[in-house]
Amino acid sequence: MTSTVEPLVAVVTTDLSAITRGRSVVESKLQKIAATGVGWLQANLALTPFNSVIDPNPWGSSGDLRLVPDLNARFRTALTGSATPFDMVAGNIVELDGSPWLGCTRTMLRDALAELKAATGVSVIAAFEHEFNIADANLAPGHSLSFAALRRADPFAPNLMAALEEAGVAPEVVIAEFGNEQFEVTHEPADALVAADRAVAIREITREVARNAGWRASFAPKPAPDAIGNGVHIHFSFVDEAGKPATYDPARPGGLSNWAGAFCAGVLRHLPAITAMTAASVSSYYRLKPHSWSSSYTWLADRDREASLRICPTVTIAGRDPARQYNVEYRAADATGNPYLSLAAIVRAGLEGLKAKLPTPPLVSGDPTLMSEAERAKLGLVRLPETLPAALDALTADRTVTGWFAPIFVETFVGLKRHETERLAGLDPASVCNLYRTLY
């Protein structure tokens, strides 16, 4: 007599270290636990990427929560090469009575989106571009962006795209990127909460496909201090209640509508503070430097990859409508940042700009490092924090940003990241990069 192994479904949440954790049940029990979820606890929010809980942490050792699956956020594929299907459901963390828990980052994003819609009538459409390296592949050297560089890893890329497609991620493009053994994968724009769920699924599916090829995929911001960095580019645009594009105005500089310009101004105003959330590791700041095609100043530009906010190109070939393509790319992010928290911070900052009716920032061209301090000040260019401790200082100094969250959540986040900084204080940059390369 033969027996079959019933596949598991993981109910997951992504924490402040951007690690996706959860609990698994056999597939036949998923519907049974759908309403009440699985057990979770408050102190899990204080877990470090080193698999320890910061001590002291504001939650202590007591308390219980529930992690409730959102069955509309299920990602399942049998194409990763594993013996059983990849099956993951994003969950919301709630109190025992079902009320939202103040530390659930997925709920934070949902609430930020709801507040933006209530204030403006618009919804956010988003997409996450992920860059990553593969290790242990022993591939022959390849040219950046080349056909051969992708083919030498065959069948990794088609296997990855097939798995992402079957899982419902709606992948668009996979390429061999500029860096050594570096790749990039993108997905179709979607409702912002769906996009953040997809960001989590992309990371986990990519890791599994690579592992089953005998390799290791790493999304760490810097594989080495002098290497090309891995960013997560967060694209956003807006649609009105009728589903029509609401970001583009061809009569305005760069095509940015007046109210979308105010949103971008809010993001730039609070960018030094929210960078701690979107680029959340020590090695993140090895990447956020001038002339690295990442971000270094509070800078809005038209199609410039050095800018923190880049207005992306639109295509009019064959009569395509620019308004439906038009979007802005936030570039000061990487995969050590929780995607829900990163996007929630962007939305909250943009909403502050709308509330204050800020003017659209100037479109900057040229190199800020070659400008005088007076020229940078006139353009509103502020250098982003250059270290994680400096970013945490900027976060705690910005009372508007900290006011978006419960004080105990801010205490947990800052304590977690300061602990991470202290843990790595004795390491040189090469050792720091090597550690994060194994963790992410």
Query: What is the residue extent of each domain of the chain?
Result: 8-105, 108-439
Length of the chain as a residue count:
440
Cα separation, 369 vs 210, whole angstroms: 39
Which residues have a Cβ under 8 Å from the Cβ of 61 and sit 6 or more positions away? 43
- Parallel/antiparallel/unpaired status of strands 8-14 and 309-311: unpaired
Nearest to 163, CA basis, from 220, 113, 204: 204
361 close to 265: Cβ distance less than 8 angstroms: yes
DSSP string, 361-396: PPPP-S-GGGS-HHHHHHHT--BPPSSHHHHHHHHH
Give me the pLDDT at residue 3, please.
57
Phi, psi for residue 395 in degrees, rounded to 5: -65, -50
Nearest to 80 by CA among 194, 177, 203, 230: 203
Distance CA 161, CA 249 (A): 35
Q: State whether residue 106 is helix, strand or coil.
A: helix
Q: In sequence order, which ranges of 288-338 are alpha helices (DSSP H)?
A: 322-325
pTM of the model: 0.95
Residue 276, number of CB atoms within 10 A of its CB: 26
C-alpha 324 chain-centroid distance: 23
* pLDDT tens by residue, 223-256: 999 999 999 999 999 999 999 999 999 999 889 9
Domain 108-439 CATH assignment equals 3.30.590.10: yes
N-to-C CA span, the chain: 42
Residues of the chain with pLDDT under 50: 1
CATH superfamily of 8-105: Glutamine synthetase, N-terminal domain (3.10.20.70)
3-state SS, 23-68, equals: EEEEHHHHHHHCCCCEEECHHHHHECCCCCECCCCCCCCCCCEEEE
231 close to 131: Cβ distance less than 8 angstroms: yes
Q: Is 233 helix (H, G, I), strand (E, B) or coil?
A: strand
The yes-or-no answer to whether 8-105 and 108-439 have a common fold is no
Note the pLDDT of residue 319: 84
| H or E element in which residue 236 lies | strand 232-239
DSSP 297: B
Q: What's the pLDDT at 427?
A: 95
